[in-house]
Amino acid sequence: MNWTAITHLTATVTAGVGVFLFEGSRTVALLAIAAVLFVVGIVLARHGDDPAPRPDAAE
């Protein structure tokens, strides 16, 4: 199960519902939730990435 894809899909659906089904403050709230979910997906994708190269890694 790919949590990054799930959170991005959920963010897309949330934004779509906010734009197409609601007006006003509900739209803003759903877009804010979608933005948070999208950032969570990016964090999950980068989780475990080590910015420093490993000594045994091929260069």
Q: Is 54 a domain residue?
A: no
Q: Which of 49, 37, 48, 41 is nearest to 13 (CA)?
A: 37
Q: How many domains does the chain have?
A: 1
Query: What confidence score (pLDDT) does residue 16 get?
Result: 93
- Record the tokens describing residue 4, joined without a space: 């990054």
Query: What confidence score (pLDDT) does residue 53 get?
Result: 63
Q: Is 58 a domain residue?
A: no
Q: Is 36 a domain residue?
A: yes
* 57: pLDDT strictly greater than 60: no
**What gap in Å lies between CA 12 and CA 17, rounded to an integer?**
9
Q: Is 51 a domain residue?
A: no
Residue 16 is part of which domain span? 3-23+31-46
Q: Is 9 a domain residue?
A: yes
Q: Is 18 a domain residue?
A: yes
**Which of the four pLDDT bands, split at 50, 70 and 90, describes residue 50?**
low
Query: What confidence score (pLDDT) does residue 20 get?
Result: 92
Q: Is 56 a domain residue?
A: no
**Which of the four pLDDT bands, split at 50, 70 and 90, describes residue 36?**
very high
Residues 6 or more apart from 10 whose CB is under 8 A from it? 37
